[in-house]
Amino acid sequence: MNETTRELLKIVSDMDGEPGPNVAYNIREDSGCAGRQSSEHIKITPKKDKPGIDITIAAGTKSENVYIPACVTHSAVSDVAYNDFFIGDGAEVTIVAGCGVHSDGHEDAQHNGIHRFFIGKNARVVYLEKHIGTGKGAGKRIINPETYVEMDENSYMEMNTTQIGGVDSTKRDTGAKLAANAKMVIRERLLTDGEQEAETKFTVEMNGEDSSIDLISRSVARGYSKQILYSNIAGNAKCSGHSECDAIIMDHGTVNAIPGLLANHIDAALIHEAAIGKIAGEQILKLKTLGLTEKEAEEKIVNGFLK
């Protein structure tokens, strides 16, 4: 594990070196493995036919964590990983992912992570993912995550995804299929600046009775950056779906929110909300009266908004 990886891990997964002896983890560095460990109930095995790993979480596992961060530490690296998660019935697990991409030259640094989740009955999954780009190289920092989720009956998944800066280009694609009584909660936070571009797409199918999705995306577009959000929710049974896009635009930034609601059942209850605008002047003024400069006031508002 090189020093750049160590610094990125602190940011994207709150890791300071390798976890303890009883914690499952896989650290990906520049298309290779910088460390891997299984635990009693969580097995991590490398794929034989393509780059990536299989993470198998035993049925009935309770209150365990698994760490699977990926780091690209220099330019001229184009990394791709296929990671599959098999979560047994009744398991309760927190998955800490995250990706850091560091550019130090004129060529691009890129990571594409394709994650698939197969969540068993009555299982509960919390998925935490942070993305960041660092380095002073002229090459672009590119992160393109793809996530596919299949949720069995009475399962629960909470996804917290955050892009906290420095990523020049990202395409984020998430798809999910929910069985009866399955519940999914998604919280996305996205920050772009300069000439950066971000595209996010959510496609959720509620196929089982009393399934539900609660999706909230919060973003800030600064400089000349561009964001586009697609939110497509289909209710194919008695279900409830909520989609919300809240965005702040600053400078010359642009945000385009494109919702899609498809009700294929008479008892499908679907809602979409959107609010896009600049920071209110009275918010800035109030903080300035407390001694902050205008720039400091803006930063405080943005940080609070993206919490």
Closest CA to 140 of 96, 114, 171: 171
The pLDDT assigned to 281 comes to 80
CA distance 263 to 233: 8
Cα-based angle 154, 160, 162 (whole degrees, multiple of 5):
160
CA distance 12 to 4: 12
In the structure, what pLDDT confidence band is assigned to residue 285 with cuts at 50, 70 and 90?
Answer: confident
The pLDDT assigned to 162 comes to 94
Query: Residue 20: pLDDT above 80?
Result: no
The pLDDT assigned to 119 comes to 98
The pLDDT assigned to 18 comes to 73
Say which residues have a Cβ less than 8 Å from residue 194's Cβ, sequence separation at least 6. Answer: 168, 222, 223, 224, 225
- Written as six digits, the tokens of 38 are 């299984």
Contact (Cβ atoms closer than 8 angstroms) between residue 225 and residue 199: no
Among 74-78, 114-118, 276-280, where is mean pLDDT lowest? 276-280
The pLDDT assigned to 109 comes to 96
The pLDDT assigned to 5 comes to 93
CA distance 15 to 96: 10
Give the 3-state secondary structure of residue 217: strand
The pLDDT assigned to 132 comes to 96
pLDDT digits (tens, 9 = 90+) for 178-220: 999 999 999 999 999 999 999 999 999 999 999 999 999 999 9
Q: How many domains does the chain have?
A: 1
What global pTM score does this model have? Answer: 0.93
The pLDDT assigned to 151 comes to 98
Identify the DSSP state of 139. Answer: S
Q: Which residue type is seen at 174?
A: T
pLDDT digits (tens, 9 = 90+) for 217-276: 999 999 999 999 999 999 999 999 999 999 999 999 999 999 999 999 999 999 999 999
Query: Residue 292: pLDDT above 90?
Result: no
Closest CA to 122 of 62, 47, 68: 62
Query: Residue 46: pLDDT above 90?
Result: yes
Identify the DSSP state of 106. Answer: S
Which residues partner with 240 through β-bridges?
212, 269
What ranges in 209-305 are assigned the alpha helix state H?
281-288, 294-305
The domain containing residue 76 runs over which residues?
3-305
The pLDDT assigned to 251 comes to 93
The pLDDT assigned to 152 comes to 98
CA distance 69 to 100: 8
